[in-house]
Chain A
Amino acid sequence: MSVVATLNKNPVRRNTAQVGLFLIAMLLVPVVFGTGYYLNMMIFIAILALPALGLSLLSGLAGQLAISHGAFFAIGAYGSAILSARAGLSPVLSTLLAQILVAVIAAGIGAVVLRLRSHYLAIATLSFAIIVELVIEEWRGMTGGMQGMLGIPPMGLFGYEASSDVQFYYVYWPITALMLLFALNLASSRIGRALRAIREGEPIVSSLGIHTAGYKTGIYVVSSVFAGIGGALYAHFVGFVTPATGSIMFAIEIIMVLALGGFDRLWGALIGVALITLLNEYALGFADYKKIILGVTLIAVMLVFPRGLLPGLIDLARHRRIARAA
């Protein structure tokens, strides 16, 4: 109990402990279950968790809905692909450099677009996503147009490139865990507190002498970089990118992920991604009905747990406990 109390008093330690345990569990998975095709799926979960975590920071924490996470996933993917495949940079370096591009674009977009509220913001970021998709399709010399780009080097440094699923697994899950830790720390810091307050009432936050626009732009940039890193990891795992990478459909799927897992908890993003990936995979057998199965699942979850699976299950557990205590 005293350990728990100490951890609760210091959120950074609590987050580190939680994520640490989670990462250990994830790293033990291949040891326990061996290698196999399932690892491929797990790697996709690690990759897709990043844009989902990013959107969760923006929407769940700060209450701003953007449809640009697919676009920033694509910019991260294409940016890193071009820098590594065409300019010959190491994938680690190209991944990082691509994030500078993502951050600069996001800061520019954010400064203009975050003056807007609610659905206007969604429409404005949707327009941006459409522009990005067009640029990728039309800038053939650089992006390969509709054909996309092949031959993107696998993630690695100094000649040590990941070449098997199990290697990618052991490189990508620690990255995702660290990003999760970053997101959790941010959410439990003064910045997270300010953002949660902005979600509720921006004018009141301003009246406390807090420059709200700076916080909104800041979280938009951070959130977009999460998507951008996800994109780069994707490119260096599958080895090719096409305009379908980070399309608008993808952005909407990320929103669905949060609707499933729960917007207001970062861990919910992970659960949502895992669920969508599993559904996508196992509904594959039903080809034509895949979309229907996804849709029905989403509707069912929304009906039973309007706030998403994770918050819903937590509430349920609490009620059970209270009911038992009474």
Chain B
Amino acid sequence: MLKVSSLEKRFGGLTALKDVHFSVTQGQIKAVIGPNGAGKTTLFNLIAGTLRPTAGDIRLDGEAIAGLPSSRIGMAGIARTFQQPQVFTSLTILENAMLGGHRYHRGDFLSCGLGLRHTRREEEKLRERAEKWLEFAGIGDIAHRNASELPLGQQRYVEIARAMATGSKLILMDEPAAGLDDTETRELGDMVRAISESGTTVLLIDHHMDFVMSLADEVLVLNFGERLAEGTPHEIQNSQVVIDAYLGTDDDA
């Protein structure tokens, strides 16, 4: 469903990503790993439209999305969660999740200001949709709390609920397990599996090797901006190039 070919990103003289190609199939959980500075987050920013690629092609179900503004890519069906959870702290948890489904409704300035009935029906649908995904993320019971009151782990669940409420085909998760303890990481793993079972494809970055290896169907390894290896967790764990690249550079394994 996602096909990336000969993707390149240069920042001035620095090449952050070079000739990266891989694909993600429908319903898969795919992980991107690599040492710090390997270009993982840059790759996500290119797919999500936060950055424009210098060269290369990104296709979502055949539709070329490389270089489009992020709102267009969001509309095409890609949602994301961030390394530092980005919840709207002045909104409630429910309102955060309601923003996920926002793009499906059309109530304009005039009809919202006049409080016309159809905008109120829309609002009801938005709320139901948001509540469903908050339940899914296990935070349905605190939906009316302010998002600023939440610890890091739960902020991540808010982000997941919000991303799922967008109804996207593909969800990009940038280090979802960062800063979580073992129990929380296990819960998160279950949630990612449930996301994948619901039919949404997952592409995630993470440093926790056991987390990634137990979860992913396939792994892509980046090193210094280049594609080093790609394969099943088993293949990657036994790949000599990967072991060489990681030895002495990463302490997570």
Contact = CB atoms under 8 A, between A and B. Distances in A.
Interface of A: 10, 12, 15-16, 181-183, 185-186, 189-194, 196-197, 199-201, 203-212, 218-219, 221-222
Contact of B122 (A15, A190, A194, A206): A190
A208 B105 CA distance: 13
A208 B102 contact: yes
Contacts, number: 107
A203 B48 CA distance: 11
Given A201-B86, A207-B71, A210-B99, 10 more contacts: A12-B115, A190-B122, A197-B91, A200-B88, A201-B88, A203-B70, A207-B49, A209-B71, A210-B102, A211-B71
A78 to B, nearest CB: 25
B179 interface: no
Contact of A182 (B98, B99, B113): B113
Given A190-B107, A218-B109, A205 B99 contact: yes
Nearest to B71: A206
Contact of A206 (B70, B107, B123): B70
Nearest to A12: B115
A15 B49 CA distance: 39
24 contacts: A12-B115, A12-B120, A182-B114, A190-B105, A190-B119, A190-B123, A191-B107, A191-B108, A193-B91, A196-B88, A199-B90, A201-B88, A206-B49, A207-B70, A208-B99, A208-B103, A209-B73, A209-B75, A209-B76, A210-B74, A210-B99, A210-B102, A210-B103, A218-B108
Interface in B97-143: 98-100, 102-103, 105, 107-109, 112-115, 119-120, 122-123, 126
A209 B107 contact: no
B107 A189 contact: yes
B166 interface: yes
A16 B115 contact: yes
Nearest to B86: A204
Specify the main secondary structure of chain A where it touches its partner. Answer: helix
Give the 8 A-B residue pairs with the shortest CB-CB distance, closest first: A209-B74, A12-B115, A189-B112, A209-B75, A182-B113, A206-B71, A209-B103, A186-B113
Contacts of A193: 91, 95, 98-99, 102
A208 B74 contact: yes
Specify the main secondary structure of chain B where it touches its partner. Answer: helix
B43 to A, nearest CB: 15
Contacts of B113: 182-183, 185-186, 189, 222
B162 interface: yes
B50 interface: yes
Contacts of A181: 115
Nearest to A63: B90
B36 interface: no
B99 A197 contact: yes
B123 A209 contact: no
B69 A189 contact: no
